[in-house]
Copies of this chain bind each other. A is one copy, B any other.
């Protein structure tokens, strides 16, 4: 039996910033070396960041990825870190002849083993996900090689991300070929309570592979995606050995004990992958002698965040990274006194600090007194920067040129506010945050180019009932990752008052929508669970409401396509992973 100390680099790469990612690889490898690790594993496509989308179709980008990999291998050696093997994800190419339907350049979602200044072996993801937020048949060709390298007597296999999620393929081959440890670089986006699924999956795949499994995941926001980390090590029986925290960078160092010592020789061997394909196992030997026995440190299993802390942390991280990765210094948003903008401001202040958050109070002729008062109270509590810009005179100037009534007049007010925010954004360089929630977005209860105008939509995937829950939760908690020092940052009145768009006298959301508790349950069943109208009615939803809400959701498609990106916290967000043809004439309710 042998021991290994492995280091899982749960990191936050930036898409396209190859040199910064390489610098970070060297720094984290140095840290791992100082902590006595025998192996460091970075995340999927760490050198390029993930996801890279169309960048991968550019020859020059793939060249840069490969060059960066080879250069960082040499640099590790130059900086005295060459003896510590590093597994890292990057983009490579398969060298296939072009053919119709194959992504240009035949790119690979690759991982390499670096050792003593060399790229010792390369592999690539076998199973390409093409559902939900993933479009990988568009971008990659599948890998068909499985490296198993001997490290201090232990055979270590490498499989990339999706290869754990689908049946057959590399995990099945590891089970046949035998290994002591399977390391898996991942870029697995956050979804609410996905951590439970992930642990169960790792345990199952470890048992299938018949060896310990080290799952390392990235963290950070990247456009619409948030990555939560939650890196996991399980033993061959599937029992958790160590687990990293959520939404934080962390070098998780884990002592593995009782690993089998291997003695198969080097060489290449084909295996039936159980999915209609053949995978070639490439065995190679770095070092055969087990490390001298040492006292292992117990594995750290980080506590899980509670459900509200988890979602709130995801939103904060998403905003922080969107601001930073896009090079903004500050944000701006409209503060109405209502709960959506109150929560959005709070998330922003927690993400980048209150001094970088700007709000504009834009009362209209229909704004109630409490709106301004509640907004001012939030400004006072949080210490963010506020200005007031009444919109009545601007609305009047429009009305002198064009006559608008009803919904058109309501939309005008929302658009004047959107233009004020965009004007200040263009003038001062702030990123505009929109404040719409998922219930509004789903039903189209928003104004195109009005409240939906902006660069990032922090709560676009948060249903209204959860907006209230998160607001109450945040008022009751503070967190180490949150930059806002205020206790109870959200005025109670913003949480408790009845929601209103205040675009006409005495307007209430319930004039147009069912109560949010009813609506959100129905939206969840329709959107997340994909239930049809008959199923929805059978599940107890009011038939008239089913018809009405399905129609709203299907028709709101155009507005949703125009909506800014925002962090995704559920499986069926709108946007990339759910879309209908705009000109579609079929309705779930008529099917």
A contacts, CB < 8 Å to B: 14-18, 20, 49, 51-55, 57-61, 63-64, 99-101, 103-104, 127, 129-131, 135, 137-138, 162, 165-167, 222-223, 321-322, 325-326, 389-391, 393-394, 396-398, 400-408, 411-412, 415-416, 418-420, 422-424, 426-427, 448-449, 453, 455, 530, 532-534, 558, 561-562, 564-565, 578-588, 591
Q: Give the contacting residue for A53; candidates B18, B138, B162, B580; CB below 8 A.
A: B580
List the B side residues contacting A584 at CB < 8 Å. Answer: 15-16, 49, 52, 55
List the B side residues contacting A103 at CB < 8 Å. Answer: 131
Q: Give the contacting residue for A390; candidates B61, B131, B401, B418; CB below 8 A.
A: B401
List the B side residues contacting A394 at CB < 8 Å. Answer: 394, 397-398, 401
Number of identical monomers bound together in the oligomeric complex: 2
Top 6 nearest A-B pairs (CB, nearest first) are: A16-B586, A408-B426, A397-B397, A325-B583, A17-B585, A60-B591
With A57-B530, A449-B422, A449-B449: A165-B585 Cβ-Cβ less than 8 Å: no
Q: Give the contacting residue for A165; candidates B55, B60, B100, B583; CB below 8 A.
A: B100
List the B side residues contacting A104 at CB < 8 Å. Answer: 530
Q: A402-B420, A404-B426, A412-B423 are in contact. List 17 more A-B contacts (CB 8 A).
A: A15-B586, A17-B586, A20-B585, A49-B585, A54-B578, A54-B579, A60-B533, A61-B586, A101-B162, A130-B137, A222-B583, A326-B583, A393-B401, A397-B397, A407-B426, A415-B422, A416-B419
Q: For the complex formed, measure the closest distance between the CB of A90 and the CB atoms of chain B, giving whole angstroms.
A: 13
List the B side residues contacting A420 at CB < 8 Å. Answer: 398, 401-402
A321 to B582, CA, bound (A): 12
With A17-B585, A131-B138: A404-B419 Cβ-Cβ less than 8 Å: no
Q: For the complex formed, measure the closest distance between the CB of A261 and the CB atoms of chain B, giving whole angstroms.
A: 34
List the B side residues contacting A587 at CB < 8 Å. Answer: 16
List the B side residues contacting A591 at CB < 8 Å. Answer: 58, 60-61, 63-64
Whether the pair B419, A583 counts as a contact (CB closer than 8 A) is no
List the B side residues contacting A583 at CB < 8 Å. Answer: 14-15, 222-223, 321-322, 325-326
List the B side residues contacting A578 at CB < 8 Å. Answer: 54
Q: For the complex formed, measure the closest distance between the CB of A18 and the CB atoms of chain B, giving whole angstroms.
A: 7
Q: Give the contacting residue for A448; candidates B52, B401, B422; CB below 8 A.
A: B422
Q: Give the contacting residue for A530; candidates B58, B127, B424, B586; CB below 8 A.
A: B58
A15 to B586, CA, bound (A): 7
Q: For the complex formed, measure the closest distance between the CB of A95 and the CB atoms of chain B, giving whole angstroms.
A: 18
A400 to B391, CA, bound (A): 10
List the B side residues contacting A534 at CB < 8 Å. Answer: 60
Whether the pair A586, B18 counts as a contact (CB closer than 8 A) is yes
Q: Give the contacting residue for A412; candidates B400, B419, B582; CB below 8 A.
A: B419
The CB with the most chain B CB atoms within 10 A, among A104, A391, A402, is that of: A402
Can you list 16 pairs linking A and B with CB atoms under 8 Å apart?
Answer: A15-B583, A15-B584, A16-B584, A53-B580, A54-B578, A55-B584, A60-B591, A99-B166, A99-B167, A326-B583, A389-B401, A393-B397, A394-B401, A398-B420, A402-B424, A419-B449
List the B side residues contacting A130 at CB < 8 Å. Answer: 101, 130, 135, 137-138
Whether the pair B415, A402 counts as a contact (CB closer than 8 A) is no
List the B side residues contacting A423 at CB < 8 Å. Answer: 398, 402, 404, 408, 411-412, 415
A448 to B454, CA, bound (A): 9
Whether the pair B455, A558 counts as a contact (CB closer than 8 A) is yes
A404 to B394, CA, bound (A): 15
Whether the pair B137, A16 counts as a contact (CB closer than 8 A) is no
Q: For the complex formed, measure the closest distance between the CB of A168 and the CB atoms of chain B, giving whole angstroms.
A: 10
* A362 (CB) vs chain B CBs: closest residue: B401
A401 to B14, CA, bound (A): 38
Whether the pair A131, B101 counts as a contact (CB closer than 8 A) is yes
* A138 (CB) vs chain B CBs: closest residue: B130
Q: For the complex formed, measure the closest distance between the CB of A106 and the CB atoms of chain B, giving whole angstroms.
A: 13
* A561 (CB) vs chain B CBs: closest residue: B565
Q: For the complex formed, measure the closest distance between the CB of A141 and the CB atoms of chain B, giving whole angstroms.
A: 12
A199 to B419, CA, bound (A): 50
* A533 (CB) vs chain B CBs: closest residue: B60
Whether the pair B412, A101 counts as a contact (CB closer than 8 A) is no
Q: For the complex formed, measure the closest distance between the CB of A586 and the CB atoms of chain B, giving whole angstroms.
A: 3
A580 to B48, CA, bound (A): 13
Whether the pair A581, B55 counts as a contact (CB closer than 8 A) is yes
A391 to B401, CA, bound (A): 8
* A168 (CB) vs chain B CBs: closest residue: B99
List the B side residues contacting A579 at CB < 8 Å. Answer: 53-54
With A422-B449, A583-B223, A591-B61: A427-B401 Cβ-Cβ less than 8 Å: no
A402 to B401, CA, bound (A): 21
Q: Give the contacting residue for A582; candidates B223, B390, B558, B582; CB below 8 A.
A: B223
List the B side residues contacting A530 at CB < 8 Å. Answer: 57-58, 104
With A138-B131, A222-B583, A534-B60: A402-B426 Cβ-Cβ less than 8 Å: no
A516 to B561, CA, bound (A): 30
Q: Give the contacting residue for A138; candidates B18, B99, B135, B586; CB below 8 A.
A: B135
A434 to B234, CA, bound (A): 56
Q: For the complex formed, measure the closest distance between the CB of A393 and the CB atoms of chain B, giving whole angstroms.
A: 5
Whether the pair B411, A389 counts as a contact (CB closer than 8 A) is no
